[in-house]
Amino acid sequence: MSSSESRDKEETPPWGRWIVLDEGDHYKVKRFEVHPGRRMSYQRHARRQEHWRIVHGEGRVTLDGEEIAVSAGDGVEIPVETAHRIENTGARALVVIEVQQGDYLGEDDIVRLEDDYGRSG
């Protein structure tokens, strides 16, 4: 596996970590963790929709400016082009299973609207 393929399967961004569990034509399944007190960038995708299932912890999801409290068992639908982020408001890791669907699922289909860690894209 090349280093670029490896980067597409697992990563440790400043807010936590993610790993690809399964993928095929037009879908990808990831498990991600958000560290306590951290949050992902506020972002959107042009070519994929996502579904998040919270499996452990508690947090807050922002969808197009609306904040929603979430905890284990909750599901969140994120349509294409919807601005979104999740943050961990608890004391332990926030664990989420993410299902992506679309005609392109590359990590470069991210438009960051805000980022706590100085990343662009």
Range of the domain at 48: 3-114
- For residue range 33-43, list pLDDT tens digits in order: 999 999 999 99
Q: Is residue 62 part of a domain?
A: yes
Residues 66-87: what's their mean pLDDT?
Answer: 98
Q: Is residue 80 in a domain?
A: yes
* Domain at 104, CATH number: 2.60.120.10
Average pLDDT of the residues of the chain: 93
Q: Does residue 47 contact residue 111 with C-beta atoms inside 8 Å? A: no
> What does the H/E/C string look like for the chain?
CCHHHHHCCEECCCCEEEEEEEEECCEEEEEEEECCCCECCEEECCCEEEEEEEEECEEEEEECCEEEEEECCCEEEECCCCCEEEEECCCCCEEEEEEEEECCCCCCCCEEEECCCCCCC
Domain count across the chain: 1
- 120: in domain: no
β-pair partners for 98: 30, 52
User: What pTM was computed for the model?
Assistant: 0.90
| pLDDT for the residue numbered 121 | 65
Residue 51 in domain: yes
User: Does residue 35 fall inside a structural domain?
Assistant: yes
User: For residue 6, is pLDDT > 90?
Assistant: no
Q: Report yes or no on 121 lying in a domain.
A: no
Determine the pLDDT at residue 120.
78
For residue 28, tell me if it sits in a domain. yes
Percent of the chain with pLDDT over 70: 93
